[in-house]
Amino acid sequence: MFCTGFLLSPSATRKPNTLFLPENKNQLAAISPTIPQCWAILENPLTNSIYCKEDCIFQSKSVAIPARIIIFASAPMTREETLRFRDQLVAWFRIHQRRLPWRQTKDPYAIWVSEVMLQQTQVKTVLPFYQRFMQKFPDIQHLARADLQEVLKVWERMGYYGRARNLHKAARIVVEEMDGKIPEDYLQFRLLPGVGDYIGAAVFSLAFDKPHPVLDGNVKRVISRLFLIESPMTTSSSTRYLKERASQLLDRSRPGVFNQAMMELGATTCQPRKPICSECPVSLFCQSCQTGRQHEIPVTMSAKAVPTYHLATGVVYRDNHLLITRRNTRGLLGGLWEFPGGKVKKGETAEQACLRELREEVNLSVEILGRITQVKHAYTHFRIVMDVFRCRYGSGEVVLRGPVDYRWITTEEIDQFPFPGANHKFIPLLLNQGTNE
Give the active site residues. 115
Nearer to ligand SF4, 9 or 283 (CB): 283
Smallest distance from ligand SF4 to CB 248, Å: 16
Nearer to ligand SF4, 203 or 219 (CB): 219
Nearer to ligand SF4, 77 or 323 (CB): 77
Smallest distance from ligand SF4 to CB 76, Å: 15
Smallest distance from ligand SF4 to CB 337, Å: 43
What is the SS3 assignment for 230-268? CCCCCCHHHHHHHHHHHHHHCCCCCHHHHHHHHHHHHHH
Nearer to ligand SF4, 272 or 394 (CB): 272
Sign of CA dihedral 275, 85, 242, 253: negative
d(CA 424, CA 325): 15
CB-CB contact of 93 with 264 (8 Å): yes
Amino acid at 400: L
Q: Which residues contact 202 (CB under 8 A, 6 or more apart)?
A: 111, 115, 214, 216, 259
Q: Which residues in this chain contact ligand SF4 in the complex, by CB under 6 A?
A: 222, 225-226, 269-270, 275-277, 280, 282-283, 286, 288-289, 294
Report how far Cα 31 is from the mean position of its chain's Cα atoms: 23
Smallest distance from ligand SF4 to CB 279, Å: 8
Smallest distance from ligand SF4 to CB 295, Å: 9
Smallest distance from ligand SF4 to CB 73, Å: 15
Nearer to ligand SF4, 225 or 390 (CB): 225
CA within 13 Å, CB half, 218: 23
Report how far Cα 420 is from the mean position of its chain's Cα atoms: 17
Residue 142 is classified by DSSP as: H
Helices H / strands E in the chain, number of each: 17, 10
Nearer to ligand SF4, 140 or 226 (CB): 226
CB-CB contact of 374 with 388 (8 Å): yes
Amino acid at 126: V
